[in-house]
Amino acid sequence: MSERVAVRKTYKLFIGGKFPRSESGRSYLVQDSNVSLASRKDARDAVVAARAAGKGWAGATAYNRGQILYRVAEMLEGRREQFVALGVPADEVDAATDRWVWYAGWSDKLPQVYGGANPVAGPYFNLSAPEPTGVVAVVAPETPALLGLVSVIAPAIVTGNTVVVAASPTAPLAAVTLAEVLATSDLPGGVVNILTGRLSETVPTLAAHMDVNAIDLTGVTDPELAADLEVKAAENLKRVLRPVAAGHDWSADPGLGRMTALLETKTVWHPKGV
């Protein structure tokens, strides 16, 4: 009996809920695999997918979004060994799963914590509530490959944003595998889109894109590139999350900041009277 020949996986992009190859037909060799080398066009396609998904996702009930994020945790838990096989430490997979659970619970609590009635000096109903800013471009941290990625995606989408993520160029397999988790979690296609490849190709396109509302530069390690991306982002006044300092502790309590930085506050007034 000959030994069974393994079926290898093709690592592709994740755009609009589908797994296309790069439209450019290119790949690069990393982590012993050929991984799609996303082009500027792929980045633009991902923005279109994210925008298209935004209305439904932002319009879903907070309860529904919370359940879907919790479902992501369930799916990730079930694929624990798969991530370990990719070289992600088991502790990190567990922490990533727990982070999904933590953020899942925020969906229907953040609007209460971060908004509310304002006691204006007059006969008016006045209520402030957070809303998603829209399409968010995210540069995932280089490491930890899975926990870092989850820690930037979950806070962006739990409030109703949709994202285009530039995955870690040196450790993209965890990102593509996470896409498989997301694709089986009832998360609507296009809410999370993942690009693999060179940051220098995709991220400047996202930073300059006029239909992107915010950019999270967390994973950018070159200060000059970060400044240049921030300049590009100014063209349509994107909300900008600046890079985190080297040695950032991803296992620490994340706080509210990653969620609130990607929110708009809407305040509605109405007179009271009979």
- Residues in touch with another protein (CB under 8 A): 113-114, 118-122, 124, 126, 128, 133, 213, 223-224, 226-228, 230-231, 233-237, 239, 248-249, 252-253, 255-257, 260, 264-271
Beta bridge partners of 263: 132
Q: How far is CA 269 from CA 38, 64, 110, 111, in A?
A: 46, 28, 21, 17
CA-based nearest residue to 138, from 238, 67, 30, 227: 238
CB atoms within 10 A of CB 87: 13
Residue 105 or 223 with smaller CB distance to another protein: 223
Residue 24 or 128 with smaller CB distance to another protein: 128
Question: In the bound complex, what is the minimum distance in angstroms from residue 269's beta carbon to another protein?
Answer: 5
Question: In the bound complex, what is the minimum distance in angstroms from residue 72's beta carbon to another protein?
Answer: 23
Residue 25 or 271 with smaller CB distance to another protein: 271
Question: In the bound complex, what is the minimum distance in angstroms from residue 257's beta carbon to another protein?
Answer: 7
CB 172 within 8 A of CB 196: yes
Q: How far apart are CA 76 and CA 206, in angstroms?
A: 28
Question: In the bound complex, what is the minimum distance in angstroms from residue 264's beta carbon to another protein?
Answer: 5
Residue 10 or 265 with smaller CB distance to another protein: 265
> In 7-31, which positions are buried (b, 16+ CB within 10 angstroms) versus exposed (e)?
eeeebbbbbbbebebbbeeebeebe
Question: In the bound complex, what is the minimum distance in angstroms from residue 99's beta carbon to another protein?
Answer: 15
Q: How far apart are CA 55 and CA 58, in angstroms?
A: 5
Question: In the bound complex, what is the minimum distance in angstroms from residue 65's beta carbon to another protein?
Answer: 16
Computed from CA positions of residues 36, 38, 41, 45, in that sequence, does the dihedral angle turn out positive or negative?
positive
Residue 41 or 109 with smaller CB distance to another protein: 109
CA dihedral 103, 104, 105, 106 (to 10 degrees): 50
Residue 25 or 119 with smaller CB distance to another protein: 119
